[in-house]
Amino acid sequence: MRVPEIPEESAPDLRAGDPPAPAQVAARPLIRRSARAGARLADHDAASLAELLRQAGGTASAARAVAGKVVRHAFGAEPGAPRPAPAWDAGALAALEVGAWAHEALLALDPGLSLEIAERAPSEDDTLRLVLRARDGALIESVLIPGPARTTLCVSSQVGCARACAFCETGRLGLARQLAAGEIVDQVRIAQALAAERRGAPLRNLVFMGMGEPFDNLGEVLKAIRLLTDPRAFRFAPSHVTVSTVGVVDKIEPFFREARAELAVSLNAPDDARRQAIMPVNARFSMAALKEALARSMPPGRRVLFEYVLFDRYNDAPEDADLLAAYVTGLRCRVNVIPCNPGPDPALRPPSAERLDAFVARLAGHGVTTLVRRPRGRDVGGACGQLAGVARVRQPAPA
């Protein structure tokens, strides 16, 4: 099996002993991130911009000051307001009182969007699934989910995914490439403009629950989060940014160390045997190792959100709720129960309303804070686990 080339710091942790992930066989070669990232303004947070300016000859403090002005100019506005393209020429920089020494390095960066809208699929429930096309033709999906008080955007972190969960359409694609930070940020820029155009509640909530495994692209995800939560730039509250992982255990501590965002972990089964059967990651990182890493790394006052997709007669028995409650005991957490959406494995179906209610009641009865995520955007393939823009748009439907 050929394992696709993956930049070192964001490689999924596939070691000897891991079961082969079938989706990887189909993966196309990755475009090296280093060849692409960094040439766009939105690929930089204030710190990486300051570093670039320091290399262009500025002192550390001048570089930091200019970087702050630039992110404010390019990305700062009232939260939720549409963001017109920033003026970006020597005159605009001079108006910001940016010295001539910094102009060449800054103006070499492209302030424009790295993505364009390839398809809009509005759902009956007001959810809007977007297919976005990157400059190299790669297709990703984002889902805009309006709520009464605020709108949520579900963002993608990779083109495809290497993790090959049995119930997830994205997992079937394999990993094509990483997204650059700017391509993550640009999903938000596009969605902000659309949310304003639709006159719904402003976009104030971000969930990294679209295509991809964020912890397999943690460097770019963290850089995007820093720009998105920078009070000079996009001003998202860190408590309104949630990163969801399959449970890449060795990235949990770095995540908590470097991001103030919230963490969600997809558990989806109450024991190792069943988890491993549907989530190949569990062969490398057991549920005990996952719990230990969470207990050790979670900063005081933070809690984790466990996602538990409910599959009919697979993981939805009352005894499974007991096992799940025992597992989460001792961790500050909430459990989000998600009736499964139709995915690639026809044997994994949603439970009946009765079984769902019984499971939730049993779990809550153990004192576990339990939420139910009602599916949104299912009719347009925009619900959890259904995002597969590449497959839908590029490949003709099987006859």
Residues lying near ligand SAH in the complex (CB under 6 A) are found at 167-168, 209, 213, 244-246, 266, 268, 307, 309, 338, 340-341, 343, 384-385
Contact of 248 with 213, CB cutoff 8 Å:
yes
Q: Give φ, ψ of 142 to 5 degrees.
A: -130, 150
According to DSSP, the β-strands at 304-310 and 262-266 are: parallel
Place of tokens 């099996």: 1
**C-alpha of 95 from chain center:** 36
Nearer to ligand SAH, 49 or 309 (CB): 309
- Closest to ligand SAH by CB, 168 or 228: 168
Amino acid at 106: L
Catalytic residue among 154, 161, 165, 384: 384
Closest residue by Cα to residue 80 from 230, 203, 199, 243: 203
Report the nearest approach of ligand SAH to the CB of residue 341 (Å): 4
Give the residue with the Cβ less far from ligand SAH, 75 or 306. 306
Task: Tell me how far, at minimum, the Cβ of 41 lies from ligand SAH, in Å.
Answer: 27
Query: Which CB atom, from 229 or from 266, has the smaller least distance to ligand SAH?
Result: 266
Number of neighbours of residue 125 by Cβ within 10 angstroms: 16
Characterise 125 by phi-psi region: left (phi > 0), alpha (psi -120 to 50), beta (else).
Answer: alpha
Q: Minimum Å distance from CB 66 to ligand SAH?
A: 36
Enter the tokens of residue 25: 């066989």
User: Given 78, 141, 213, 307, which residue is catalytic?
Assistant: 141
Q: Is the dihedral of CA 164, 165, 166, 169 positive or negative?
A: negative
Residue 340 known to be catalytic: no
Element (H, E) at 353: helix 353-365
- Helix ranges, 198-317 (H): 218-229, 252-258, 272-278, 281-284, 287-297
To which residue do tokens 């009070």 refer? 231
User: In terms of CB distance, is 185 or 304 closer to ligand SAH?
Assistant: 304
Count of beta carbons in the 10 Å neighbourhood of residue 22: 14
Cβ-closest position to ligand SAH: 385
Has 384 been annotated as catalytic?
A: yes
- Least separation, in Å, of the C-beta of 241 and ligand SAH? 14
**Min. distance of Cβ 255 from ligand SAH in angstroms?**
13
Toward ligand SAH, which CB reaches closer, 232 or 355? 355
In the complex, least distance from residue 367 CB atom to ligand SAH, rounded to whole angstroms = 23
- Catalytic residue numbers read 141, 384
